[in-house]
Structure 1
Amino acid sequence: MRFDTLAVHGGERVPGPEGSVVFPIFQGTVFTSEPGESYHDIKYHRLNSTPSQVYLHDKLAALEGAEAAVATSSGMAAVTTILHTLLGAGDHLLVSDVLYGGTHDFVTAHAARLGWEYSVIDPQAPDSWEVRQNTRAILVETITNPLLRVGRLRDVVSFARTNGIVSVIDNTFASPVNFRPLVAGFDLVFNSATKYLNGHSDVVAGSVAGSTALVEKVRHTLNLYGGTLDPHAGYLLARSLKTLGVRVRQQNANALALAEFLVGSSKVGAVNYPGLPGHPDHEHASELLNGFGGMLSFRLAGGAEAAEVFLSALTLPAVAPSLGGVDTLITRPAFTSHAGMSAEDRAAAGITDDLIRLSVGIEDVEDLIADFATALDKV
């Protein structure tokens, strides 16, 4: 089945319980047990094994092209559970030099305390990557936040396989509409499902997908740490997955149109969007991705002061963190998503105080462009 058909029908029960077409919420936490069940297979909510959870997991797996998937209580629960599953004391991790702020903070602040070692790599420079005897995994992002770089992802897959380590990718910015990492050869993919997978800014969730063997290991770790998704949030996420393709394609088109508009303005100093021919990763991103996503970032020629004036003059976008929803959101990452990083780390990553990040929604793009034009006139 093609993606939009999978989004609607993948993982569904036909017929559903009591003949339902829309799978119901199983709010209960107590279910009868079967003789011989293992601990992790008992139907209990914290163990991620109740009917609502299994249904959601099957739907997530279908969209990712995965053997198995598991939902988590947040995107951070997804990545931290993966790392706790793959790494033990004395193990080594390779991580991209640009990561979501929360992931960066977790690795840099807690690796030593947990007995892990890590090395930072440039995902654009495969020849510089080196494994150690104790290297267990490599962690990268499909499209980085907030500069929208696309790494040499095929090289990551090849490198991991050659060296016998697990390849892990954060696909939040792309979503499975624009890129399916498991189909491309990655071992594990995770998303902050709070963003595009849910897409309505009303659920916090995460997802992990991969082979049955790896996902079961992740689920067992998750069961012990307790990062379980609430039944009602899981229901809302499953509902939202059915419109994922429709939403993301509109966001792709809107973001490209806005990026092209901004590039043409004398008030704008730089635009970061991989769909633009001038983007440093445009060529290989075009080969990897089915769409360039709904995220872009830019800097105004007038610097941080101009950025403040511009944000205040907009009427349609909400000035707010987070991303991936049907509403357009705009923010300055140095003061939101990456505020936990040191000023030195932000500067090294190119996250300046005047950088503006835009999460494009599904509004009519002509209305968005008109609003941006009016705001730029006031800068």
Structure 2
Amino acid sequence: MDEDRIETRAVHGGERRPGPEGSVVYPIYQGTVYSVPSGTDYHDLRYIRLNSTPSQSYLHDKLAALEGAEAGLATASGMAAITTALHSVLRSGDHLLVGDCLYGGTHDFLTQHAADFGWTFTFIDPHRPETWEAALTAKTKAVLVESITNPLVRVGRLPEVAAFARANGLVSLIDNTFATPVNFRPVTAGFDLVLHSATKYLNGHSDIVAGAVVGDAEHVERARTTSNHFGGTLDPHAGFLLARGLKTLALRVRAQNENALRLAEFLADRPEVAEVNHPGLASHPDHQRASELFDGFGGMLSIRPAGGVSAAQKLIDAVRLPFDAPSLGGVESLITRPAATSHAGMSPQDRLALGVTDDLVRISVGVESPEDLVADFEQALGTL
């Protein structure tokens, strides 16, 4: 299949032809017990915890096909994907370089637990390659960044990060949740491991929790072995729903790209809004880079109403279409204040250092009519 035809790969990538018993839709294999041929390696036993049952292998192939990768692994959550991947490449005494604007869960995991595993880490600015070498140590083993940061939707020097990692013998990891493989495929940019909270866009219907690790076969197999020992495995029913959601990923994300840009352009012209963050806007500091790297600017934006925290909460209360909820990437629009939800575990000082102010409002744009979304925000802004 053509590398650029993501719509076709989303539907047909990883599919079995013909399917079991001739089924077009791959079935759920709920069984935990399978016969074992003599001499089978432990990690090749067919067992749900070992990520090796037919349902899991099918899902892994679909995930890999979407990212253009050699292999894939599904996990029980996005954080399970991140922690499993990090544990697969870091040992006690190792050092990690990490982007300085992270999803709150990733930030909390590193700041609160890295020392427990004997890891050290240094925050780097993904926009300033000239500063990265100074952060290296003799024990640096990996670098982790996000394709589009949460919640300020910044886009770093991503190909340069991957090249820097290769030049210095580091494993490169990237959280591609916000961009999705529809808009950006990090493997082609040189990254070793691509991570997702599949709860979000990959599934797209706000009804499961899952994660994904994809990349070259060697690194994914190390991640699978780590996951097998830690037990953060995705169950077959959730895996079935994720595989089903993946088939419409390209259609959903294309619509969300268009809707988010339309809404961002509307909000940027409103006096009630002091700041709009969306990489599709020419005013965004990373607009040119995003235009060069991505096939779309994503369905996420964040804003700061002119009236501070009270105006932010009033806006959230006044909109009628978006749900006041902290997740993202579903077919329905969502709105939240990250300081009170996704980044609440961070200290106020750390949040402010990243630009996550108390009045910042994050919007995950769904697939509703763009005219209805704009009209809804227009009436909500009228209440401020």
TM-score band, normalised by shorter chain:
over 0.9
1:176-195 pair list within 5 angstroms:
176-195=181-200
Give the TM-score of the pair, scaled to structure 1: 0.99
Task: Kindly report which structure 2 residues correspond to 1:27-42, keeping only aligned pairs within 5 A, or say none.
Answer: 27-42=30-45
Aligned to 2:162: 157
Deviations 1:283-328 (A, max 9, x none): 1111011100000000011111111111111111101110000000
Letter of the structure 1 residue corresponding to residue 206 of structure 2:
S
* Structure 2 partner of 1:81: 84
Map 1:49-88 → 2, pairs under 5 A: 49-88=52-91
TM-superposed deviation, 1:107 = 0.6
1:20 matched to 2:23? The reply is yes
Structure 1 segments (4+ residues) deviating >4 Å: none
Following superposition, the deviation at residue 112 of structure 1 comes to 1.2
**Residue 371 of structure 1 pairs with residue 363 of structure 2:** no
Percent identity, aligned pairs only?
67
- 1:89-119 deviation line (CA, Å, top 9, x unaligned): 1100000101100000011111111111111
Equivalent-residue separation in structure 2 for 1:64 and 1:73 (angstroms) = 19
Which aligned pairs between 1:179-258 and structure 2 lie closer than 5 A? 179-258=184-263
Counterparts of 2:28 and 2:381 in 1: how far apart (Å)?
47
Letter in 1 for 2:82: V
Provide structure 1 residue ranges, at least 5 long, that are not aligned to the other structure.
none
Q: How many residues align?
A: 379
The counterpart of 2:106, out of the listed 103, 107, 110, is: 103
SS in 1 for 2:161: helix
Cα deviations by residue, 1:58-96 (Å, 9 ceiling, x for unpaired): 010100100000000000000000111111111000001
The equivalences for 1:315-354 within 5 A come to 315-354=320-359
Residue 34 of structure 1 deviates from its aligned partner by 1.1
Partner of 1:11: 14
- State the secondary structure of the residue aligned to 1:168: strand
Partners in 1 of 2:164 and 2:376 — Cα distance?
Answer: 45
1:174 maps to amino acid: A
Specify the SS of the correspondent of 2:141: strand
Give the secondary-structure state (helix, strand or coil) at the position aligned to 1:277: coil
Aligned-partner Cα distance in 2 for 1:312–1:218: 42
Structure 1 residue 56: Cα displacement = 0.3
Distance, in Å, in 2 between the alignment partners of 1:317 and 1:214 is 39
Matches within 5 A, 1:254-269: 254-269=259-274
SS in 1 for 2:7: helix
2:178: which partner in 1? 173
**CA deviation digits over 1:242-271, x for unaligned, max 9?**
000000000000000000000010100000
Normalising by structure 2, report the TM-score.
Answer: 0.98
SS state of the match for residue 361, structure 1?
Answer: coil
Distance apart, 1:36 and its partner CA: 1.1
What is the alpha-carbon distance in structure 1 between the residues aligned to residue 179 and residue 29 of structure 2? 30
Q: Aligned equivalents of 2:199 and 2:87: distance in 1?
A: 21
Whole-Å separation in 2 of the counterparts to 1:161 and 1:313: 49
Residue identity opposite 2:58 in structure 1: Y
